[in-house]
């Protein structure tokens, strides 16, 4: 079974929004901390913060890594991501509409983006050494919504070497509802 055909099946199994606001912490294998937000207003406020720029920065790192491995892999990554976004939109329209109602259009778009980027990581992750978005997908899979980031990211390079995504996010805190 290909990744694309398994994407819809995996999303259908998520216990969407069953643990919103619960203190029960999302368990992550990542090095970053996590913090639950209190309510929809706090979640919407978190989305309006630097969340989009953090996601774009980390996605950009994945795209640059693919480009370094060759134009063919980069094109495959981008094409796969576009297909994944279409599949996400058609397989979970009610969930995306719910997010749009409560987090606004920006929150809905970012959630769809996270899920597409996670599918891209699963398909190409070994080549790109990226797992950040897969961990965010796990937030959805646990019945929560990833909605923001506090603490910024470490610089791309320190002491003359390129930092991994895991090292860059280690200083931050993932906000979820």
- Could you list the mean pLDDT of each consecutive 10-residue stretch along the chain, which spans 177 residues? 67 92 71 87 90 91 88 93 94 95 94 95 83 90 92 82 82 90
How many alpha carbons lie under 13 Å from residue 54 in its C-beta half-sphere?
28
Q: For residue 124, what is the enclosing H or E element?
A: helix 93-128
* Predicted pLDDT at 26: 67
- Residues 69 and 177: their CA atoms lie apart, in Å, by 37
**Quick one: tokens of 130?**
């990226």
- Count the neighbouring beta carbons within 10 Å of the beta carbon of residue 90: 9
Helix spans in the chain (H) = 3-12, 40-46, 52-68, 71-91, 93-128, 132-141, 165-169
How do beta strands 161-162 and 173-176 pair?
unpaired
pLDDT on residue 154: 83
């Amino acid at each position: 079974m290909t990744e694309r055909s398994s994407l819809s099946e995996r999303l259908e199994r998520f216990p969407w929004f069953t643990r919103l606001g619960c203190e029960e912490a999302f368990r992550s294998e990542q090095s970053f901390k996590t913090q639950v937000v209190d309510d929809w207003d706090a979640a919407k406020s978190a989305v309006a913060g630097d969340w989009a720029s953090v996601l774009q920065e980390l996605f950009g790192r994945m795209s640059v890594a693919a480009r370094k491995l060759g134009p063919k892999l980069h094109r495959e990554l981008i094409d796969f991501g576009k297909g994944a976004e279409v599949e996400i939109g058609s397989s979970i329209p009610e969930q995306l509409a719910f997010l749009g109602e409560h987090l606004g259009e920006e929150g809905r778009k970012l959630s769809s983006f996270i899920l597409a980027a996670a599918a891209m990581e699963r398909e190409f992750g070994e080549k790109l050494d990226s797992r950040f978005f897969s961990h965010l997908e796990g937030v959805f899979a646990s019945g929560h919504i990833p909605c923001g980031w506090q603490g910024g990211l470490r610089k791309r390079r320190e002491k003359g070497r390129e930092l991994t995504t895991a090292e860059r996010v280690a200083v931050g805190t993932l906000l979820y509802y």
